[in-house]
Each structure stands twice: as C-alpha cells, then as structure tokens.
Structure 1
Amino acid sequence: MHNITDYLNDIKIFRVLDKYNVSDIISHEKKVSRYALQIFDSLYPYYKFEYEERTLLYYSALLHDIGYFINKDNHKQHTKYIILKEPLLDNIPDVLRKILALIASSHGKSIDTSIDFYPLKEKTIILKLISILRIADALDHKHILHISLENVKLSNNSLNIEIKGESSNLILKKLKKRSSLFSKIYNIPICTNCF
C-alpha cells in the first residue's frame, strides 16, 4: 500500500476541511481523528500494523463527515463523492484515493460495496481501519456531548475504553451498536467504563 503522506499533508487536508466545513463539523472530525489514533496506538503493539495504515486512518477520520457540506442525510455517500472529486486531492494515486474514500464513507452502518473488489489481505486491513473509525466516531456521537476519552488499553483479551462526561450513557449505547465490526474483525470485545 502506498504511503498517503507522500501525496497529502496536514496543510492540504485542512484546506479541504475548511472548504467543506459546515456547522463547525471540523471540530468533530479533529476529535474523531484523535480518538481513532488513540485506539490504533493501543492496538499497535499487538497487531501487525504499518505506519501507512496509521496515516490512512488519520486522514480518513479527518474527512469522514465532509459530506455534511452537501447534505446531512446520506452524508457518507457525499463524503465519498467529495474525496473522489475534490481537485485538492488530485495528486493522490487513484487506488489510494479510492481506499481513503472507502474508509471515510464506511464509518456508519454499512460498508461501501467497492470493498469486494480488494484482495483479502487489503480488504482485511481496510476493515480493521473502518472498525476503528466507527468506534472513534461513536465516542463523539451527537458532536456536542463534551465526552472525553480518558484511556484506551488492550488487556484481558478485550479493548478497554474509559470515557468521562455527563452524557456517557448515550455514548455507551452508540458504542455498543458500532462495535460489532470491531469485535468481529479483531475477535475481541470492547469493554467500557464511565466516570
């Protein structure tokens, strides 16, 4: 897999985010990208990840809701469209750009059907990244709940997530809905604690 940082950097990605920022969605995207990297980093010692996968997850998380610019409803499909058509992203090789769009647009209930065209090894990597993005996005559900991710740690054969905030119970419900792909792909459950 190509390294996306050969074609994309924070300056360029934030130009894209600024261009499509509505209702301050960029704050949510930044928070989700931080959460996604925290989860990824907690898994890193135990799974064979590459640096390229970490940066791909980071950029996918930053872009996952830019489709709100077109319409909140069906924003996942709009996210894919923007990533594939945005001129500021034209220097990214087509293969890598499609993977970026696939991961970013699959952060909800369904996975884009284009995943079926990838070989098993690549498909597995993509699914691992999507599952992390789904968990990270669920941790900032509603975008306004002022929840903080206090700790993420793999121990006792489960991913343990500690969150803090007044509306933690809402996040736990969303997290439970969004964790099935993660548990299936990694073959470990997610355990949560609130305080």
Structure 2
Amino acid sequence: MLNVHSYLSENEVLKIIEKYNVHNILLHEKKVASYAVELFDFINQDYKFSTEDRDFLKYSALLHDIGYFIHKEKHHKHTKYIILKEPILNKLPAETRVLLAAAASSHGKSIDKSIELCSNELKVKLLKLIALLRMADALDHTHNLNVSLEGIKVKNETFKIKISGQGSQYVLKKLKKKSDLFSKVYGMPVSVKCS
C-alpha cells in the first residue's frame, strides 16, 4: 500500500521537485527529507516500520512543499493537487498516489480526509509517519538550512531532540507546536533543547 519505491525512483521524485521549484524550495525539501529519515531511523529501533514505510516518508517529505509553485497560501492543498495530477506520478497505483498526496499535504495543522477513510491499522501508521514529517518540517521551518539536529534520544519516557545553529530558538518554538501529533500517536511528550 505504501510501496512507492518499486514504481518511482528518487531521481524521478527529484525531477518533479525541480519542475516545481520556486523560492529554492528544493533545498528545503531535501533537508526536511533528511531530518525525516533521521527521525524515522531512530524511532524505528522500537516501532519496526518497513523499508517501504521509510521510502514513503522520504518521498512525502521531498514533495511536501511543491504546492508553493501555485501559491504559498494554501500550499498544502496545492501540494495534494500537484501530486494527484503530475504525469510522472502516473506510475503509482491510484490508492498509493492518493495516500502519498494526503501524507505530503498533511504536514501542516490538518490531516487530509483521505487518511480518515483508511483501515485503522493503515491510518495509525500514516499518522505516525506524518508526525515525523511535521517535526522534520519544523526543524527547517525558516527554510534557511542553518539548524542542525545534534541528537535524538528517549529518556524518562520523553522523546528528546537537541538542535543547534542560527535560528534554533525560532525553530524550537515551531517544533513544540508541530510535535503535538507525535506526542499523541507515539504516546510520549517531545522535549527540545538548543545548544
């Protein structure tokens, strides 16, 4: 269901991003994908997601802001629209494509309605992946690529993240707001520290 890599290569996804690259969003999307995979790899020590889940998260992170091509306002909805209409993505099975569009467009405050229609098991998995995407996006919220993810650990049943760099105080505030879904679906609070 979440298998995207069998149908679509990362290079093809990068071509899509280049096609819709405005305001140098490509650099932001690559950074968010990197953070998302790093968070995924850490959390996967306990949750045992599949390689397909990891690829799905990475591709949704790479595509999450292509809606800026249409307009910054409501770019989440524009992201979904582009993913559903982009010819390169015709290779994906229809249901997988809808879920990729729904996950990528859910990186903001709301969850796409398509996810609510999934089986409970798939819905929970998607929400866990979207929670990681939201936190990864918050880590580069200012789009200036100057924040480093210095460490991740779970201690005292709290998910702890350490960041550093220019703008980390601003990112800290954004990360606290965007970690609500993570706390809900993983059942632990998020603590962020700037060094």
TM-score category, normalised to shorter length: over 0.9
What TM-score comes out, normalization by structure 2 length?
0.97
Kept in 1: contact 2:161–2:190 (CA 8 A): yes
Instruction: Spell out the pairing of 1:45-194 with structure 2 (5 A cutoff).
Output: 45-144=45-144, 146-194=146-194
Q: Partners of 2:155 and 2:93 in 1: how far apart? A: 38
Tell me the equivalent position of 1:16.
16
Distance (whole Å) between structure 2 residues aligned to residue 137 and residue 2 of structure 1: 21
Please give the TM-score of this superposition, normalised by the length of structure 1: 0.97
CA drift of 1:89 comes to: 0.6
Q: Is the 8 A contact 1:151 1:162 kept in 2?
A: yes
Provide the aligned C-alpha RMSD in A: 1.0
Secondary structure in 1 matching 2:108: coil
Say which is worse superposed, 6-15 or 63-72, in terms of deviation: 6-15
- SS of residue in 2 equivalent to 1:148: strand
The residue type paired with residue 175 of structure 1 is L
3-state SS, counterpart of residue 110 of structure 2:
coil
Task: Give 1:154 deviation, angstroms.
Answer: 2.7
Contact 1:145 1:167 in 2 (8 A): no
CA distance in 2, matches of 1:28, 1:84: 22
Q: Distance in 1 between matches of 2:11 and 2:35?
A: 20
The Cα of 1:10 is off from its aligned counterpart by 1.4
Q: Distance in 2 between matches of 1:57 and 1:2?
A: 9
Ranges in structure 1 where 5+ consecutive residues have no aligned partner: none
TM superposition shift of 1:2:
4.6
State the SS of the aligned residue for 2:46: coil
The verdict on how the C-alpha distance between 1:145 and 1:134 changes in structure 2, with shifts beyond 3 A counting, is same
For residues 166 and 54 of structure 1, the distance between their equivalents in structure 2, rounded to whole angstroms, comes to 29
After TM superposition, where is structure 1 displaced by more than 4 Å over at least 4 residues in a row? Answer: none
Cα pair distance change 1:162/1:101, threshold 3 Å: same
Instruction: Provide Cα deviations, 1:29-71, integer angstroms capped at 9, x if missing partner.
Output: 0000000001000101111311111000000000000000000
| Aligned partner of residue 171 in structure 1, secondary structure | helix
Aligned-partner SS, 1:143: coil
- CA distance in 2 between partners of 1:2 and 1:104 (Å): 13
